[in-house]
Structure 1
């Protein structure tokens, strides 16, 4: 059975081997800055569940410009510049942003909650029936490092 979660570009293919361990609508300022979107649909996968066929063709840069030593790196294609995934230097998770990383966004389950919303955002609290949290959902546990 092939994965419904295939992204990347024509040079680097990213494929999921399992379902996401977290799937949320992100309101954080870093996602806003990187994607230019008001909110961003984000899917976390266990580190080993998101595979890349040509890691040698990935350029890595800090995901958070204000915290360049942070754990997440934005990986882009060295040939075309397409965003491919977020990679965790601690090897706990890999992250897909379906609508900007070459995935069929409709193949992903809808985000189950809103993350990183607070009153300083300058807009009304989401009221679509999904839970809204100031961080990740309270029951989320970071996976152990795959290293």
Structure 2
């Protein structure tokens, strides 16, 4: 299998065999809390398009501590603690955060829009020419489970 994007750590490798189905700059408070960044480049892949070579070496924890029963889990390396990916328990998507999860960020396509921005944020609305939405892009459709 040829990988378009490879991330992870020295113990667990994540490989993408297709382009992301959604690629945005996320402004949500959960991403901000997990990454410590004001905004984060996030790429959604169809579940089967992002593979893991050693899933047995991954620890899983709720992505959103305010909603621990939510569908997303943060997967980290059991050996070194590196963030690896977000995994959807419903098997619709897998998520890469290029600058946090071991990817060469420059190899990823540029985000096409800003997601989860609201006027109550403590910083100005993005003005880089990309559309800004209060949620995901209005045309985004959740894939069916794998």
Task: Tell me the TM-score normalised to structure 2 length.
Answer: 0.98
Instruction: Give 5+ residue unaligned stretches, structure 2.
Output: none
Q: Deviations over 1:20-46 (max 9, x none)?
A: 000000000000000000100000000
Tell me how many residue pairs correspond in the alignment.
Answer: 146
Q: CA deviation at 1:107?
A: 0.3
Say whether 1:143 aligns with 2:143.
yes
Q: How does 1:57-96 map to 2 (within 5 A)?
A: 57-96=57-96
Q: State the match for 2:112 in structure 1.
A: 112
Q: How far is 1:50 from its partner?
A: 0.1
- Counting only pairs closer than 5 Å after superposition, residues 1-147 of structure 1 correspond to structure 2 as 2-146=2-146
In 1, Cα distance between equivalents of 2:131 and 2:119 = 15
CA positional deviation for 1:123: 1.3
Q: What RMSD in Å do the two structures reach over aligned CA positions? A: 0.8
1:119 Cα deviation from its structure 2 partner: 0.6
| Structure 1 runs, 4 residues or longer, greater than 3 Å off | none
Distance in 2, matches of 1:3 and 1:61, equals 26
